[in-house]
Amino acid sequence: MNYVATITSKRQFTIPSDLFKMVNYQPQQKLLIQIINADEGFISVKPMRQLVEDLAGSVPVTKEYKNLSLEKMVEKARKDYYVNQKI
């Protein structure tokens, strides 16, 4: 089934409600968007949690990240990254 969405002037689009329900997305959920073919405008959208499941066991988690939710891990990693940048 195909769906149509319009990109706004803020470069945003709304996922049609039927599709949103079908893929079981939730409001405020983090999504991973990957470029499949930039020349043709193809992207892939999947839950961020899927990345964690795909990598499960292959990346060691340090003590400072243990017991944090995925959202907190991403937030902490982002802050740590920018603190350590030499601009």
Q: Is the pLDDT of residue 6 over 90?
A: yes
pLDDT of 59: 66
The residues spanned by each domain of the chain are 17-84
CA distance 55 to 69: 16
Nearest alpha-carbon partner for 43 in 53, 52, 34, 55: 34
Non-local CB neighbours of 33 within 8 Å, separated by 6+ positions = 43, 44, 45
pLDDT of 3: 92
Between 58 and 78, the higher pLDDT residue? 78
* φ and ψ at residue 33, rounded to 5 degrees: -115, 125
Q: Is the pLDDT of residue 54 over 80?
A: no
CA distance 87 to 85: 6
Question: Two tokens at 12?
Answer: 């945003």
- For residues 5-29, give the mean pLDDT: 92
Q: Is the pLDDT of residue 86 over 70?
A: no
pTM score: 0.55
